[in-house]
Amino acid sequence: MNGSDAVTIALVAIAIFVLVVLSRSVRIVPQARAGIVERLGRYQRTLGAGLTLLVPFVDRLNPLIDLREQVVSFPPQPVITEDNLVVSIDTVIYFQVTDPKAATYEIADYISGVEQLTVTTLRNVVGGLTLEQTLTSRDQINAALRGVLDEATGRWGLRVNRVELKAIDPPPTIQGAMEQQMRAERDKRAAVLTAEGFKQSQILTAEGERAAAILRAEGERESQILRAQGEAEAIQTVFRAIHDGNPDQELLAYQYLQMLPEIARGDSNKIWIVPSELGKALEGLGSVVGKLGPDANRPGTG
């Protein structure tokens, strides 16, 4: 090997060394990420987003930590209620890393820690509630879980933003009883609605019949008023015609005798009103008939 080859090998080695040093010195941290730098095994600083330089072979960059809000869904957990019933509860935790240093050094695995703390807190909270309270108090359980988790995970550099219960499944026997109760409640509501509908229908029918009866009565009254007015006008017309004809007592008596059958025809006519002048008219009529009697017996008459 001559001198030129040795120089070339040395230059290549130096170039490789420089590239390795640069690769270990230059780091780019993406947005919404954070990095923990350790110098000789001890915490040195926390890196934010952007370009940074490290001391080769002295500084070490730990795996980046996601600073965005994270959603973790835990498998169903059996929980015993106050009335000794086992329910299965699914939970979802929304949390965010606020202190990368604490999340790195205060706990080995904060995801596992949040899960175990959630299960323990859920059993403590639901253990003081009955099944009915558990099924109807989701907001209360969520608030209690969030308060306990947020306080406990604060020293881990985490902030719990929200806790949600996805599902609360009671035992199968309880589910069957609840379904029967729900069906009974639905049947009861349906029966009540049917009765209310029938009641309203009857009320509307009665109101309609009442209105119809009122209208019929008003129509009958108007008809009677019109008939009475017509009869009154007819009587006035007849009276006016009789008055204009200047009738004598004999004619009036004769007309009254003709109207007696019409007056007596009605079933409600129990009392006959006889004018005081009728006696005089009948006397006059009798004299007229007496005068006509001899003439009617004369030969050639009629």
Q: Which of 85-89, 162-166, 223-227, 247-251 has the lowest mean pLDDT?
A: 247-251
Residue whose token pair is 């930590």 = 65
| Helix (H/G/I), strand (E/B), else coil: 169 | strand
- Range with lowest mean pLDDT among 68-77, 184-193, 279-288, 289-298: 289-298
| Bridge partners (DSSP) listed for residue 210 | none
69-170 adopts what CATH topology?
A: Tetrahydropterin Synthase; Chain A (3.30.479)
Which residues lie across from 26 on neighbouring strands? 53
Q: Which of 14-23, 41-50, 180-189, 252-261 has the highest mean pLDDT?
A: 41-50
The three-point CA angle 103-75-114 to 5° equals: 20
| pLDDT higher than threshold 80 for residue 192 | yes
Average pLDDT, the chain: 79
Q: What is the mean pLDDT of residues 243-255?
A: 63
Residue 202 predicted with pLDDT over 70: yes
Rounded average pLDDT over 232-248: 68
Domains of the chain, by residue range, sit at: 3-65, 69-170
- Highest averaged pLDDT of the listed ranges 14-18, 50-54, 62-66, 261-265: 62-66
* Tokens matching residue 243: 């008055």
pLDDT in tens, 96-141: 999 999 999 999 898 888 889 888 888 888 888 888 888 888 888 8
Residue with tokens 């969520």: 142
Torsion of CA 191, 197, 203, 206, to 10 degrees: -100
Spatial CA neighbour of 77 closest among 19, 33, 121: 121
pLDDT in tens, 220-229: 888 888 887 8
Pairing mode of beta strands 65-66, 33-39: antiparallel
Give the integer Cα–Cα distance in Å for 293 and 302: 12
Asked if pLDDT for residue 194 goes beyond 60, the answer is yes
Residue 81 confidence (pLDDT) above 50 = yes
Q: For residue 63, what is the DSSP state?
A: P
The per-residue pLDDT for 296 is 45
Residue 43's pLDDT is 93
Asked whether the predicted pLDDT for residue 38 surpasses 70, the reply is: yes
